[in-house]
Amino acid sequence: MNDKIIIFDTTLRDGEQSPGASMNTAEKLRVAMQLERLGVDVIEAGFAAASPGDFEAVSQIAKQASTIKVCSLSRATQNDIKAAGEALVHAKNRRIHTFIATSPIHMEYKLKMTPNEVIKRAVEAVEYARTFCDDVEFSCEDAGRSDISFLKEITDAVIAAGASTINLPDTVGYRLPHELSQMIATMVEFVNNRAIISVHNHNDLGLATANSLACIQAGARQVECTINGIGERAGNAALEEIVMALKTRADIFAPLHTGIITKEIYPTSRLIASITGIEPQPNKAIVGKNAFAHESGIHQDGMLKHRQTYEIISAADIGIEADTLVLGKHSGRHAFKDKLARLGYELSEEALNEAFDKFKLLADKKKEVFDDDIREIVANEFIKIDEVYELVSLSAAGSNKAHTSAAITIKNEGELKSDASLGNGVMDAIFKAIDRSTGTKGVLKDYQVRAVSSGKDAMAKVTVKVKFEGAKTVTGHGLDVDTATASAKAYLNALNSYLCKA
Q: What pLDDT, in 10s, does the model give residues 303-315?
A: 445 556 657 898 8
Per-residue pLDDT tens digits for 183-203: 999 999 999 999 999 999 999
Q: Does the pLDDT of residue 171 top 70, yes or no?
A: yes
28 & 124 share domain: yes
312 & 340 share domain: no
How many domains does the structure of the chain reveal?
A: 4
139 & 202 share domain: yes
46 & 131 share domain: yes
Per-residue pLDDT tens digits for 285-301: 999 988 876 444 544 44
Assign 238 to helix, strand or coil: strand
26 & 174 share domain: yes
Evaluate whether residue 160 is within a structural domain.
yes
CATH number for 407:
3.30.160.270
Examine the fold and report which residue of 382, 406, 430 is the final residue of a domain before the chain moves on: 382
346 & 435 share domain: no
Per-residue pLDDT tens digits for 88-106: 999 999 999 999 999 999 9
Q: 329 is in which domain, residue-wise?
A: 323-382
199 & 106 share domain: yes
CATH number for 245:
3.20.20.70
360 & 426 share domain: no
pLDDT for the residue 23: 84
Q: Are 218 and 184 in contact (CB under 8 A)?
A: yes
Q: Phi/psi class of residue 385: alpha, beta or left (left: φ > 0; alpha: ψ in -120 to 50)?
A: beta
348 & 474 share domain: no
Q: Are 416 and 392 in contact (CB under 8 A)?
A: yes
Per-residue pLDDT tens digits for 119-166: 999 999 999 999 999 999 999 999 999 999 999 999 999 999 999 999
Per-residue pLDDT tens digits for 58-85: 999 999 999 999 999 999 999 999 999 9
407 & 497 share domain: yes
Rounded to 5 degrees, φ, ψ at 398 are 140, 140
48 & 151 share domain: yes
Evaluate whether residue 1 is within a structural domain.
no
Evaluate whether residue 408 is within a structural domain.
yes
- Integer Cα distance of 314 and 318 in angstroms: 7
As a whole number, the mean pLDDT across the chain is: 90
Segment 395-423 mean pLDDT: 87
Q: What is the pTM of this model?
A: 0.84
pLDDT for the residue 325: 56
pLDDT for the residue 381: 64
